[in-house]
Structures are given as C-alpha cells and as structure tokens.
C-alpha cells in the first residue's frame, strides 16, 4: 500500500542498516533441566526386574533427576523370573520399541534380554551387572544370583517391621510412657512433616516417635525428660507452612480459623523456636526439603547415619 505523504521518511546515517522489526515478546525461557518435553518426544524406557522392581525404581528415580522432568515414560515389568516372562514383556516392547533397562540376577535371563534387544536393535542397560562384577572382582567373593534374598524374612526384616509398629504406636504424641525407647523423637508444630518422616525412617529400621506441639502449651513431661541429643525439632518457613495448612483446610473442608492465618503461623513458629532454644533441642529446617533429605539429615544429627539395619 502506498505511503501517505504526511508520513515522514525514516532517516538513517550512511552505512547503517535498518533494524528488523522487534519480534513479539515471549514468556521467560525455561532452562533445559526444567523444561517438560511434549508427550510426543518423551522416550519410553522399559524396566525389567526379577522381583518387585523397587531396586530399579529407586535407581532410576535418582538417575532421572539429571534430566528434564517427564522426559521419559517408564514402563515396569516385574517378576521376570522365567524366559516365558521375558518373552511376554518383549511382545509389548516389539509393538512399541523403546530403551530397555533391567535388574535381573540370573545370567540366563540377562543373556535372553540382551539377545532380544539385539534382535530388535534396541539399546539395553544392565543396572546391576557392572556393580556386582566390580564387588566380586575386587573382593574375591563369588555372588549368588538369588533374587529372593532381597526380601528375606530375616532378622533385619523383623527389625524393620518392629520399628514400623513402634513408630505407628508413637505417632502424634501417642505412647508417651515408652517414648524413651525411641531411637529419635521428632517434635514440631502441625504440618511440619513429622509423621511421613517418621514412617520413612521406620521403614529403614529406626524406631521413631513424634510429638505435635501447640502454641503456648507446655510439652509433655515425658518428652522434656529425654536427653536433647535424642530429639530433633523441625521448623519450616511460616509462609510455606501457611500455604500447606490452607491446602489441608480446603481439602478437609475445615472451618475458618487461625490455623492457616499467616500472622498466626509466624507467631507460632517464633514461639516454637524459643521453646527449642530453652530445651536445647537441635533444630532442622525442612523448608522445600524432600522427606528423603530430611530423614538423612536427622540420622546425621542424632548420630545414627552409620547404624546398620
């Protein structure tokens, strides 16, 4: 369309180039590690295990933290204990090929999985083989490929069950008369992850008690009588705690109260910190912290990190 005479020409200095029109503004760029790939680009990973699949699941959970969230779609095939099981799993893999990883102990099944991946031209990774071979080579001890041993109902298993029973019996201030038998006692105001952390530790064989504290209410004498080194006092950012409580209040359809009021929560946390200081209890801040990290820090704080199950 012709330019109107009233429109001035754009003047520029000799030798300079006109700038291209500005591109439309976009939202903030996401880092490579934070981006979530579209569903069409996600890679399928088939995970084969000769038992419950927990070992492979835990290993992959750790490994996949190095990749963009949801970059991989995991498909588990557990209890792969015969070649017929492997054949059945590969019927699905053949129909929708992907990466294959496995945690099977039998050398025959390892060979069967490798052969089928070779046939389909699929990459395969043995999650356990190199590590077992390393331990065997450097220790001189021959491994025994017994997948049942991981879930033996032995003394260690019985200790874990006993610890879990103890922890459930000492949740949220219960069982105060035997609280001294705990390996560690967690204290904190409502919604500071005391119960889930206690259960996680119990599954590792530690007897844990937890006691909820209420603002301006004196803690039970049985708790105050314990040596401070056995107690870990949990704190959290008041704003985050208020958000957690608001979510709980909404989910449970609780009546409006000071429970999630930001000012009240801030006052409550300040009171808790003063109490912890008077009692001499070590403090652990669980703000933005995963249960696994919280549990590991607790074991270090009370000197249990080297305790064997």
pLDDT at 145: 67
Examine the domain organization and report whether 142 and 163 are in the same domain.
Answer: no
Examine the domain organization and report whether 89 and 199 are in the same domain.
Answer: no
d(C-alpha 116, C-alpha 89), whole Å: 11
Examine the domain organization and report whether 177 and 290 are in the same domain.
Answer: yes
pLDDT at 20: 36
Of 68, 8, 74, residue with least CA distance to 44: 74
> Which residues constitute the domain of residue 273?
155-301
Q: Which contiguous run of DSSP H or E holds residue 49?
A: strand 43-49
pLDDT at 151: 59
pLDDT at 256: 61
pLDDT at 28: 33
Is residue 27 in a domain? no
Examine the domain organization and report whether 283 and 195 are in the same domain.
Answer: yes
- 64: CATH: 3.40.50.2300
pLDDT at 249: 77
Cβ pair 109, 83 in contact under 8 A: yes
Six-digit token string for 180: 């001294």
* Residue where a domain stops, chosen among 149, 174, 205: 149
pLDDT at 39: 61
pLDDT at 274: 97
| pTM of the shown model | 0.69
- 296: CATH: 3.40.50
Examine the domain organization and report whether 64 and 182 are in the same domain.
Answer: no
d(C-alpha 287, C-alpha 265), whole Å: 14
What b/e string do you get for 109-138 counting C-beta neighbours within 10 Å, with b at 16 or more? bbebbeebbeeeebebebbbeeeeeeeeee
For the chain, 309 residues long, the average pLDDT of each consecutive 10-residue run is 44 40 35 52 94 91 92 95 96 97 94 97 95 92 72 78 96 97 97 96 96 94 97 97 87 73 95 97 97 95 74
Examine the domain organization and report whether 113 and 220 are in the same domain.
Answer: no
pLDDT at 73: 95
pLDDT at 15: 42
* Residue where a domain stops, chosen among 119, 149, 179: 149
pLDDT at 149: 64
pLDDT at 26: 35
Examine the domain organization and report whether 109 and 160 are in the same domain.
Answer: no
Examine the domain organization and report whether 113 and 79 are in the same domain.
Answer: yes
Residue 13 three-state SS: coil
Cβ pair 206, 304 in contact under 8 A: yes
Is residue 21 in a domain? no
pLDDT at 40: 61
Examine the domain organization and report whether 161 and 291 are in the same domain.
Answer: yes
* Residue where a domain stops, chosen among 124, 149, 174: 149
């Amino acid at each position: 369309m012709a330019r109107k005479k009233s429109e001035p020409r754009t003047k520029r200095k000799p030798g300079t180039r006109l700038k291209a029109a500005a591109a439309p503004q976009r939202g903030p760029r996401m880092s490579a590690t934070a981006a979530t790939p579209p569903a069409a680009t996600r890679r399928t990973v088939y995970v084969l295990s000769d038992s419950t699949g927990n070992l492979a699941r835990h290993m992959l959970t750790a490994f996949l933290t190095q990749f963009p969230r949801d970059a991989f779609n995991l498909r588990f095939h557990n209890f792969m204990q015969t070649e017929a099981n492997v054949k059945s799993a590969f019927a699905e893999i053949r129909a929708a090929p992907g990466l294959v990883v496995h945690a099977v102990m039998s050398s025959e099944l390892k060979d069967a999985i490798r052969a089928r991946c070779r046939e389909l031209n699929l990459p395969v990774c043995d999650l356990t083989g190199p590590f077992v071979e390393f331990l065997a080579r450097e220790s001189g001890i021959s491994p025994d490929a017994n997948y049942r041993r991981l879930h033996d109902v032995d003394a260690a298993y019985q200790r874990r069950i006993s610890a879990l029973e103890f922890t459930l019996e000492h949740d949220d201030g219960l069982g105060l008369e035997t609280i001294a038998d705990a390996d560690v006692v967690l204290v904190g105001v409502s919604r500071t992850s005391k119960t889930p952390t206690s259960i996680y530790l119990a599954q590792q064989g530690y007897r844990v008690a937890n006691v909820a504290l209420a603002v301006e209410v004196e803690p039970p004498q049985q708790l105050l009588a314990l040596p401070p080194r056995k107690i870990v006092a949990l704190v959290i950012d008041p704003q985050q705690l208020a958000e957690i409580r608001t979510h709980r209040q909404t989910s449970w359809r609780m009546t409006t109260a000071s429970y999630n009021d930001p000012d009240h929560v801030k006052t409550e946390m300040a009171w808790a910190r003063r109490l912890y200081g008077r009692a001499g209890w070590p403090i652990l801040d669980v703000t933005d912290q995963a249960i696994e990290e919280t549990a590991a820090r607790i074991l270090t704080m009370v000197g249990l990190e080297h305790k064997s199950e």
